[in-house]
Structure 1
């Protein structure tokens, strides 16, 4: 094993947020709540549970407050919600969440399509959101979307990314997340970019949010591990995508990621069978198959990890 690989990795489950909101068929609040509880039982210590966004654009999240009201009392588990403006922060706060995910795109075109604002407007809004969240003693994870390229604009400005990271670091956010929103990253581009960005984070953890659009999700995870990243967003069964990115595939699957890491002797603390049961239940309800692999293999009689 490469000496750079860690002994432990933290996985942040984004299925109930990033995954659910991509589904056109409404998922009942009761089912959302039961899946979140089961994910906690499976060992996930950080779960994104909802988006507090424009309901006309993301109707799947119309019950965000109700979902939060049903969260289990689980010591040591972080439940967080995505917010795109101060109104979202206020909604999350009133709902009872203690942690928010603030994220803006470095691509002006993607920002307009995804959030309805320009990059400059997004920066102004981001500062207001961080200020409000900190005033209310909320935990803040600050993200950068399209950090590895944009389907509309191609390569994005490295200087713009570094500038955002430096601002986030100056505000002492709890974590900084880089999102491969369009799935354009590859192992080489990650190994070229991450050594430049990681030092800018200082003591603040860097999280990678990888999409599997071009089938490179786990290869990119391996490259990031080698660069020292030890926190990753994953989604049960590889759910998710981005409705404003043509052809965007889901996130790297939680079960696939757990299997890869554990088979290499890297501890995740996540029960792959428990997560797989959540994936099967949702697939049965939606009558569709998600792109992850391990959760399907777990159904095969006689299959052994």
Structure 2
């Protein structure tokens, strides 16, 4: 008996994978990763077919020493045709540096909770918008696209579960400010599929379509793929992930990092959803990067297809 094809109802035909390995994946590494390694990592990711590569962040080196080479990296990076290389900017000074580097896309990083905003930005929940507003305004004036990351969308280590209404209200302000897209982050990896459905339903009820939303899951409790599937079923078609499962939130105990791009691609293949990525080349890239970092990848697919690394 032939195996039936997967049910395509309510699933997007194709997705955009927003690869964050080079920025989010590496930013908390304790040992400095040479800029040459980062450039090679980005080259390999582009060769594997990933079309969006978040390259770096123009945060002050005091706060994220690993990304102190942002200007050097972009000066030396040979951009692959058709590949987008957005960068994260924390403030106007970071935006100035991004403009000087000739970037076409930026992202800002906001918080859905008061506690995390205080700790991460040294500003209150409402005060953060005063910092982001001139950045977004100037970016729009310069013709740059702007992504808004929204952290702590499901749970906060100091405040506990975060009400969906609060997340929708903060997210709506970022979109009204001029962000083109909003990436909803499960920063400490506590979300479940039911919570994903409730939050996305809240945005829909507020008149914000899923075409303006992306999702960014961490796998702390092993729910990243299940949460992604729930988002796909509701029509989300931009998924953040990190090659090899690199990265993680320092505020999440036992965090195992971001959703691994290989695990995502394996699931998308099984669902018949187009993504444009060569899985074998991507696994080879993550095996190579694991060797550079001196530890195995946490990705199940990388372990299965790439051997011991």
- TM-score tier, shorter chain, comes to over 0.9
1:169 aligned residue: 175
Deviation at 1:204, TM superposition (A): 4.9
Instruction: Say if 1:240 and 1:250, in contact at 8 Å, map to a contact too.
Output: yes
Residue 74 (structure 1) aligns with: 80
Alignment deviations for residues 156-214 of structure 1 (CA, whole Å, 9 cap, x no partner): 24333222332333344321111111111101111122122145334852100111011
Residue 101 of structure 1: CA displacement?
A: 0.7
* More displaced 10-residue stretch of structure 1: 11-20 or 51-60: 51-60
Find the residue that maps to 1:21 and give its secondary structure: coil
Matches within 5 A, 1:8-47: 8-47=14-53
Instruction: Provide the rounded CA distance (Å) in 1 between the counterparts of 2:296 and 2:76.
Output: 27
Match of 2:115 in 1: 109
2:299 corresponds to: 292
Matches within 5 A, 1:179-218: 179-198=185-204, 200-202=207-209, 204-218=211-225
Instruction: Give 3-state SS (helix, strand or coil) of 1:79's partner.
Output: coil
Residue matched to 1:124 = 130
3-state DSSP class of the match of 1:143?
Answer: strand
Match of 1:100 in 2: 106
Match of 1:49 in 2: 55
Quick check: 1:134 aligned with 2:128? no
Deviation at 1:23, TM superposition (A): 0.9
Counterparts of 2:256 and 2:135, CA distance in 1: 29
Any unmatched runs of 5+ in structure 2?
A: 1-5
Q: Specify the alignment match of 2:3 in structure 1.
A: none
- The 4+ residue runs of structure 1 with deviation greater than 6 A are none
Tell which deviates more after alignment, 246-255 or 48-57: 246-255
Q: 1:223 matched to which residue of 2?
A: 230
CA–CA distance in structure 2, aligned partners of residues 131 and 209 of structure 1: 25
Stretch deviating more after TM superposition (165-174 or 289-298): 165-174
Mapped to 1, the partners of 2:175 and 2:65 lie a distance apart of: 33
TM-score of the superposed pair, with normalisation by structure 2: 0.92
Which residue of the partner structure matches residue 276 of structure 1?
Answer: 283
Q: 1:204 to 1:267 in 2, by over 3 A?
A: closer
Q: Does 1:260 align with 2:277?
A: no
- Specify the alignment match of 2:90 in structure 1: 84
Whether the 8 Å contact between 1:169 and 1:202 is mirrored in structure 2 is no
Determine the C-alpha separation between the residues in 2 that align with 1:174 and 1:56: 29
Q: Is the contact made by 2:210 and 2:236 (CA closer than 8 Å) also made in structure 1?
A: no
Secondary structure in 1 matching 2:160: coil
Q: TM-score, normalised by structure 1?
A: 0.93
Distance in 2 between the 1:143 and 1:103 partners? 5
Q: CA RMSD in A?
A: 1.8
In the aligned structure 1, how far is the partner of 2:297 from the partner of 2:121? 26
Contact 1:13–1:233 (Cα < 8 Å) also in 2? yes
